[in-house]
Structure 1
Amino acid sequence: MMDDAIKPTRKPPRKVTPAYLQRAAMAYLERYASSAENLRRVLKRKVDKRCRLRGEEPAEFYEAIDEVVEKSLRSGLVDDTRYAEARVATLRRRGGSARAIRAKLSLKGIDRATIATALEGEEGDEEQAARALARRRKLGPYRPGERAPYRDKDLAALARAGFSFDIARRIVDGEREDNAG
């Protein structure tokens, strides 16, 4: 029987180095598309955790994080404009409103001008996005059975998703479009 007082102690993680930060950034970017600010946050969390386990002060490594992010930007691995355009296209297909997309991209650290530029080409797609959401969530004309008793709930669901009342009303009161995609 093993005594509780004799527990093997874990070795502290290795010291944070610029090479470690570069490897961590590359590993993250291999798996996920990212904005510069989001990559900065990811690396900061890694540094904070590692420094907490080592009993070190993380602030001294923040400059190295900035250097890794700048290097990623210069090499083209991170491009906020390209990231924003790709996210807008994906979120539109899934039924995202312009308002919801702005909020999500802002959370990822994309500036307002870049978001506006990415949404610019997509403005005419607000109604298509609302229809995609209605189809996915079975709202309005996509609701099986009688839809009249659920009209207000369906309008509210589209409004919470960030669509204007006019667009929500057109979708909920409109006819089903099965060929739209």
Structure 2
Amino acid sequence: MKAVVFDIGGVLIDWQPHLAWAEQLGSEEAAHAFIERTGFREKNARGDNGELFADMAQELDDPEDQRLFASYVEHYGRTVENPIHGTWDVLDRLRAQGTAVHGITNWSAETWPEGVKAHPRLGEVFGTLVVSGEEGVMKPDARIFRILCQRAGIAPEDCVFIDDGLHNVEGARAVGMDGIHFTTPQALEIALTERGIL
């Protein structure tokens, strides 16, 4: 039986980064503008690769922007409040039938503990979990998939990898895993059923 490897953000947990600042800035629109102004998404990817948000904040010119950016970790829990229930239902069915379930996530080592505080099951449900910020390597780099396989004691061809980022799915396929591009829990259930996994 194949092991199923889940991405987390956008698959199991809805991530809305602007909510870290919406209250401080007075509106969601202002928070979105802050994200654009500060190049947050590019910096966040660097965080997923191991850099610290306080260090990246120092690259900004405006002192208030620096302060707000550095506060991201403190307010991170607001960005990941909502689970994607249908995907959790699929994961629970897999575990109940004895299928090995693992995780690979592009997630900052700083914010990961806050994510687990918001959703304690994230720290409990995976046989093996690889967090990019803790490793200093992120999807779709082949190395992160190989780290998972080595630690879990499985071959890539024995894995089905699920991610909402097609480029990450393609990265998994490049190392020999089967890949499912996540769109909805319902489509995921169908894809796993077609493979004889559910």
Structure whose residues are more often strand by fraction: 2
Larger radius of gyration: 1
> TM-score normalized by structure 2?
0.27
Structure whose residues are more often helix by fraction: 1
> TM-score normalized by structure 1?
0.29
